[in-house]
């Protein structure tokens, strides 16, 4: 890569860039919200269509197709230009949303969710890649922090919004609302986003794309094995693991010979790229993967109602907002992102190590403070992997590199959720029927816990606190792995502009 190959910003007018960024954030909110908003509407959907045994597939189908296509969309943007790849993603997602809203059976809905995911995966990857074209390297850090806030905001408001819309307008409204929003985003992109034709002849790596899609699908299915197939070690789960391993090995052999690989293997020779992928996986595991388990922990060990427990998440979200915005502005000024990765995992490791010692009588304010520390930790490094790989990758592979980071984060979350569920399940199984008036501790709701005699309620709270101890220790170990990877990062300084990327620096990156 030399100075002639470093492209100028896609849009130079500041006002036009801000308007375009607003359209991009609207698309991201729409795609990420859809995986959360459906959760509270699932019982209503099952009540209408039946087929309770397919309950889990409504969420898993979206996550499966979304994960499978992320790296593919990144590469397609590198080959054909970001504009039309991004617009195609939005169009597919909008059509999928319309079909979801008009679904006549559970099978139709699951198929439409797959179609939605095929568009949603492209939206998430293309947005970060378009940001790389719109903003200079340091300026990008500030705007990526806003993107991170949109991701977390969708996670926070999704369940609440889904419940409200289902009650007021019916469950179909949570999908149909995406149709007018999708058309507005398409119109905005058509008029505001310029088309930049890549200076390379498109050669699509069909075999590599198919093998990578099957590998990522196998990983997500394996992570959801306990929910979908009854056990992580069931014959079907083990078969999927074996199939995924074969696909992964075959993918490596295919990519070594492909003229335009979906994910160029030379990227992995750059230690910065590899370490940032590790950081992204670990970050997904302790950020996205822990959200639902924090809610369960609060309701079972403190006796808080769901609504009061939800209020404590304001501390987690507030910490995340403070950490993300602060990191974005400081990275924009200094160009250094390594310190924030180190600080991020340090905060989370301390929070989880302390939470592992929490018992049923611990003051709620103390637990809230630990959640805030973890939130600050998440926010500090929320945008680091994306910024880092976009700076480390050659200009022609920015989309592929961005797709790999986004996928690794989702993969880390899926795997961590499966591990956390297995830990809690195994720990609670040891309790059996030892608590008076409690037949099955796993089926207790917060309302049922509140109705128990004081002695039984405290016994249940202590049982859950003991079950969560190994879970928090596991989260702490994940954070420490991320911290080790962060410490091994080279102290790279982001250039202020694309023109500052010198041939010597580019040659050093390539040689490494």
In DSSP notation, 238-270 reads HHHHHHHHHHHHHHHHHHHH-SS-SS-GGGGGS
pLDDT of 403 > 90? The answer is no
User: How distant, in Å, are the alpha carbons of 37, 121, 206, 238 from that of 211?
Assistant: 31, 17, 9, 18
What DSSP line would sit under 131-166, residue for residue? Answer: HHHHS-HHHHHHHHHHHHHHHHHHHHHHHHHHHHHH
pLDDT of 504 > 60? The answer is no
Burial 174-207 (b: 16+ CB within 10 A, else e): bbbbbeebbeebbebbeebbeeeebeeeeeebeb
Residue where the block lists tokens 């002695």 = 455
pLDDT of 271 > 80? The answer is yes
- Over the Cα atoms of the chain, what is R_g? 23
The Cα 379–Cα 322 span in angstroms is: 7
pLDDT of 448 > 70? The answer is no
Q: Average of pLDDT values for 88-108?
A: 89
The Cα 472–Cα 485 span in angstroms is: 20
Q: Which residue has the higher pLDDT, 496 or 48?
A: 48
Q: Give percent of the chain above pLDDT 90.
A: 11
- Lowest model confidence (mean pLDDT) among 151-155, 167-171, 268-272: 151-155
Q: Which residue has the higher pLDDT, 496 or 473?
A: 473
**Residue 322 CB neighbour total at 10 angstroms:** 15
- Cα angle value 20/24/30 (rounded, 5°): 145
Q: Is 336 helix (H, G, I), strand (E, B) or coil?
A: strand
So what's the pLDDT on residue 108? 86
**The two three-digit tokens of residue 329, written as one number:** 């502005």
Mean pLDDT of all residues belonging to the chain: 77
- Lowest model confidence (mean pLDDT) among 117-126, 337-346, 400-409: 400-409
Residue where the block lists tokens 């949109």 = 150
So what's the pLDDT on residue 443? 53
The Cα 211–Cα 217 span in angstroms is: 10
pLDDT digits (tens, 9 = 90+) for 139-159: 776 777 777 677 766 766 666
């Amino acid at each position: 890569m030399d100075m002639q190959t470093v492209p100028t910003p896609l849009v130079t007018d500041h006002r036009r860039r801000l308007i375009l960024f607003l359209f991009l954030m609207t698309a991201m909110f729409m795609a990420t919200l859809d995986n959360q908003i459906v959760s509270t509407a699932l019982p209503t959907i099952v009540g209408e269509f039946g087929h309770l045994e397919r309950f889990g597939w409504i969420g898993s189908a979206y996550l499966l197709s979304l994960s499978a296509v992320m790296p593919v969309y990144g590469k397609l943007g590198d080959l054909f230009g970001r504009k039309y790849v991004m617009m195609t993603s939005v169009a597919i997602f909008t059509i999928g949303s319309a079909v979801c809203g008009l679904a006549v059976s559970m099978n139709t809905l699951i198929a439409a969710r797959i179609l939605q995911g095929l568009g949603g995966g492209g939206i998430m990857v293309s947005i970060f890649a378009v940001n790389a074209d719109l903003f200079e390297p340091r300026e990008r850090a500030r705007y990526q922090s806003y993107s991170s806030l949109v991701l977390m905001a969708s996670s926070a408001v999704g369940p609440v919004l889904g419940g409200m819309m289902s009650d007021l307008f019916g469950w179909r409204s949570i999908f149909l609302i995406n149709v007018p929003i999708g058309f507005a985003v398409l119109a905005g992109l058509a008029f505001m986003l310029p088309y930049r034709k890549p200076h390379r002849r498109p050669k699509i790596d069909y075999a590599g794309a198919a093998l990578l899609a099957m590998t990522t699908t196998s990983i997500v299915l394996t992570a959801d094995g306990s929910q979908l197939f009854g056990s992580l070690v069931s014959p079907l789960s083990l078969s999927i693991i074996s199939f995924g391993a074969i696909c992964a090995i075959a993918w490596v052999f295919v990519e070594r010979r492909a003229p335009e690989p979906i994910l160029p293997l030379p990227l992995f020779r750059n230690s910065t790229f590899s370490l940032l992928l590790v950081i992204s996986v670990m970050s997904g595991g302790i950020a996205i993967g822990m959200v639902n388990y924090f809610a369960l922990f609060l309701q079972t060990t403190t006796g808080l109602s769901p609504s009061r427990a939800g209020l404590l998440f304001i501390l987690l979200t507030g910490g995340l907002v403070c950490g993300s915005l602060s990191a974005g502005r400081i990275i924009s000024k200094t160009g250094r992102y390594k310190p924030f990765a180190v600080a991020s995992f340090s905060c989370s490791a301390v929070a989880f190590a302390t939470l592992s010692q929490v018992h049923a009588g611990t003051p709620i304010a103390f637990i809230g403070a630990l959640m805030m520390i973890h939130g600050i930790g998440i926010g500090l490094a929320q945008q680091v992997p994306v910024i880092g790989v976009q700076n480390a990758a050659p200009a022609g592979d920015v989309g592929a590199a961005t797709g790999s980071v986004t996928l690794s984060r989702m993969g880390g979350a899926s795997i961590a959720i499966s591990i956390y569920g297995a830990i809690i399940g195994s720990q609670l199984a040891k309790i059996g029927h030892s608590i008076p008036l409690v037949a099955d501790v796993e089926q207790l709701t917060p309302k049922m816990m509140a109705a128990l005699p004081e002695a039984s309620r405290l016994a249940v709270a202590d049982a859950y606190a003991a079950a969560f101890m190994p879970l928090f220790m596991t989260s702490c170990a994940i954070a420490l792995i991320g911290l080790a990877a962060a410490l091994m990062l080279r102290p790279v300084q982001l250039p202020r502009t694309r023109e500052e990327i010198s041939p010597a620096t580019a040659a050093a990156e390539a040689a490494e």
